[in-house]
């Protein structure tokens, strides 16, 4: 065919397409445009998967996600977003914006890894030689899916299918660093109408569950070193102080409200048994579904620590790492995300993925049927046992999220099995479903002022007259070094 004839044919096809589009009822045209936005995510699936694998491979600690943050920011910049880096005095945080005017919708993106979860994408324990960190919570998928959803919405705004502003919030250090508290404190959500988020998991779920508020702190004890055999009376053991604290905390558990969780790790406790340790550190979490209760139990934990210091004649140093609120449910928005997840959920395993999953399930305590990856659960009214700094966002702006099966059914979070699946096509399929669900939910909200208004009203009623006060000390700065090894002063 000659080029002139080809151009005429293409022009005729375009004219027919425009005529067909114009003849569609408004609702059908909107549905077709929405479908086109979701198809754009699938068309770029290879690009998004490449980004996710980069972040999975780098596996960077909280507040140190330099390459991971830039990888996501670059994706968004290339799509026409304006990206502001280093927001809220956090080098690896960013806000990427596209469009103008109202409504303003935000999508949260996370990308930090966890210590001790290095793992290859194989169905048996096999740490990677280059790092001790791993994405055992799937944040490499989280960040990329959120960016992909934001890009799909931005393209729809560019085409004129939607009007308003879409933002993607690069949120570092969710695993204990609580970066979103500082983003909230900096007022970065003050003009946002609704926020969307998601999280990897072993099943698909939506609705409006809440979860546990959390308070975190590092308790450091400073004593006096001495020869543990030749001059033990000269020593004042920081490790003894930590042990007294830990034992007192164990006794405290009996006298705490239901659903309280107290857990810790010892991050420093001495170097040699024949030297009385002059420095010891424990990293503690206290959780409860009510932020005020979590804070009150934390105050009692500090009494245990002071008792440990008093009993051993050592000095106590407290580094308060802040507290995160429980997620505030918003049933108005959650109905929209649940509807979209149910409409889009299409996960299934290939024969190769099923073989991988069967091997993984042989290592699990409570595996679930593989067929459950196609199910969607309504978690409305549930209380999840985890914590997240998404909670603080949900107290200042209406928020809804979904959970997507990116791991083999029955896989616990923060496990080598989760890290492994996140590096395979099982993780890829879940990531794309998450991106489409977020984009579809955003699409519906852009054109529904009534729902956004009702969601804001629900938020105000749930927060109540007491309002929201972040669990931060006066002038407290982001703990940018909280993942660094402990150092005696």
For residue 28, what pLDDT is reported? 79
Helix (H) or strand (E) holding 318: strand 315-324
Could you tell me if 335 and 205 lie in one domain? yes
Is the distance from CB of 71 to CB of 102 less than 8 angstroms? no
From 323, 349, 376, the end of a domain falls on 323
φ/ψ (deg, to 5) at 402:
-135, 160
- In sequence order, what are the beta bridge partners of 319? 218
137 and 262 share one domain: no
Residues 44, 349, 138, 398: what is their CA dihedral angle, to the nearest 10 degrees? 70
Strands (E), 175-246: 194-201, 204-206, 213-222
* pLDDT recorded at residue 2: 38
Indicate whether 4 belongs to any domain.
no
Encoded tokens for 41: 């995510």
Q: CATH code at 239?
A: 3.30.70.360
Residues 332 and 268 in one domain: no
pLDDT at 26: 53
CB 378 within 8 A of CB 415: no
Q: What is the pTM of this model?
A: 0.93
Burial class of 14 by CB neighbour count within 10 A (0 to 12, 13 to 18, 19+) = exposed
Segments forming the whole domain that contains residue 387: 25-210+326-463
Let me know whether 309 and 169 are in one domain.
no
Q: Do 176 and 54 share a domain, yes or no?
A: yes
Regarding whether 166 and 60 lie in a shared domain, the answer is: yes
Total domain count for the chain? 2
User: Three-state SS for 471?
Assistant: strand
Domain end among 323, 349, 369: 323
Residues 206 and 217 in one domain: no
Residue pair 178/324 in contact by the 8 Å Cβ criterion: yes
Specify the CATH number for the domain of residue 96.
3.40.630.10
pLDDT at 459: 98
d(Cα 403, Cα 385) in Å, to the nearest integer?
14
- Mind listing the pLDDT tens digit of every residue in the chain (489 residues)? 334 444 444 445 444 444 444 444 557 778 999 999 999 999 999 999 999 999 999 999 999 999 999 999 999 999 999 999 999 999 999 999 999 999 999 999 999 999 999 999 999 999 999 999 999 999 999 999 999 999 999 999 999 999 999 999 999 999 999 999 999 999 999 999 999 999 999 999 999 999 999 999 999 999 999 999 999 999 999 999 999 999 999 999 999 999 999 999 999 999 999 999 999 999 999 999 999 999 999 999 999 999 999 999 999 999 999 999 999 999 999 999 999 999 999 999 999 999 999 999 999 999 999 999 999 999 999 999 999 999 999 999 999 999 999 999 999 999 999 999 999 999 999 999 999 999 999 999 998 999 999 999 999 999 999 999 999 999 999 999 999 999 888
| Buried residues in 170-198 as b, exposed as e (16+ CB within 10 A) | bbbbbbbbbbbbbbbeeebbeebbbbbbb
Classify strands 194-201 and 399-405 as parallel, antiparallel or unpaired: parallel
């Amino acid at each position: 065919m000659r080029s002139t004839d080809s151009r005429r044919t293409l022009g005729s096809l375009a004219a027919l397409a425009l005529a067909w589009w114009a003849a569609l009822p408004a609702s059908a045209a909107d549905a077709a445009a929405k479908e086109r936005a979701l198809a754009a995510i699938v068309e770029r699936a290879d690009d998004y998967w490449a980004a996710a694998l980069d972040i999975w491979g780098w596996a960077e600690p909280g507040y140190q996600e330099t390459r991971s943050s830039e990888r996501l920011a670059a994706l968004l910049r290339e799509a026409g977003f304006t990206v502001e880096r280093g927001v809220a005095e956090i080098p690896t945080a960013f806000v990427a914006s596209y469009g103008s005017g109202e409504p303003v919708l935000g999508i949260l993106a996370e990308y930090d890894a966890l210590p001790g979860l290095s793992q290859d994408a194989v169905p048996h324990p096999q740490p990677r030689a280059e790092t001790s960190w791993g994405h055992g919570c799937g944040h490499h998928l989280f960040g990329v899916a959120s960016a992909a959803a934001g890009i799909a919405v931005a393209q729809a705004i560019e085409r004129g299918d939607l009007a308003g502003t879409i933002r993607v919030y690069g949120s570092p250090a969710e695993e204990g660093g609580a970066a979103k508290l500082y983003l909230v404190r900096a007022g970065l959500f003050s003009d946002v109408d609704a926020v969307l988020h998601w999280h990897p998991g072993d099943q698909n779920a939506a609705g409006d569950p809440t979860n546990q508020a959390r308070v975190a702190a590092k308790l450091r004890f400073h004593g006096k070193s001495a020869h543990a055999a030749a001059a033990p009376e000269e020593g004042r053991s920081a490790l003894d102080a930590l042990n007294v604290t830990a034992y007192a905390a164990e006794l405290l558990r009996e006298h705490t409200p239901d659903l309280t969780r107290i857990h810790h790790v010892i991050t420093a406790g001495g170097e040699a048994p024949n030297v009385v340790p002059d420095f010891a550190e424990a990293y503690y979490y206290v959780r409860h579904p009510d932020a005020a209760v979590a804070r009150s139990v934390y105050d009692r934990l500090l009494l245990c620590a002071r008792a440990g210091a008093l009993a051993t004649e050592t000095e106590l140093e407290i580094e308060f790492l802040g507290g995160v609120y429980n997620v505030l449910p918003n049933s108005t928005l959650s109905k929209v995300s649940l509807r979209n997840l149910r409409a889009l959920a299409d996960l299934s395993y290939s024969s190769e993925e099923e073989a991988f999953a069967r091997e993984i399930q042989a290592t699990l305590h409570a595996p679930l049927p593989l067929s459950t990856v196609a199910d969607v659960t309504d978690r409305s009214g549930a209380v999840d046992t985890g914590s997240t700094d998404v909670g603080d966002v949900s107290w200042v702006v209406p928020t809804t999220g979904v959970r997507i099966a990116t791991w083999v059914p029955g896989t616990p979070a923060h496990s080598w099995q989760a890290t492994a699946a996140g590096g395979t096509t099982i993780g890829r399929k879940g990531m794309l479903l998450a991106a489409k669900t977020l984009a579809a939910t955003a699409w519906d909200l852009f054109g529904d002022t009534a729902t956004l208004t009702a969601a804001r009203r629900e938020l105000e009623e749930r927060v109540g007259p007491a309002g929201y006060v972040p669990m931060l000390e006066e002038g407290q700065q982001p703990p940018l070094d909280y993942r660094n090894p402990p150092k005696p002063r």
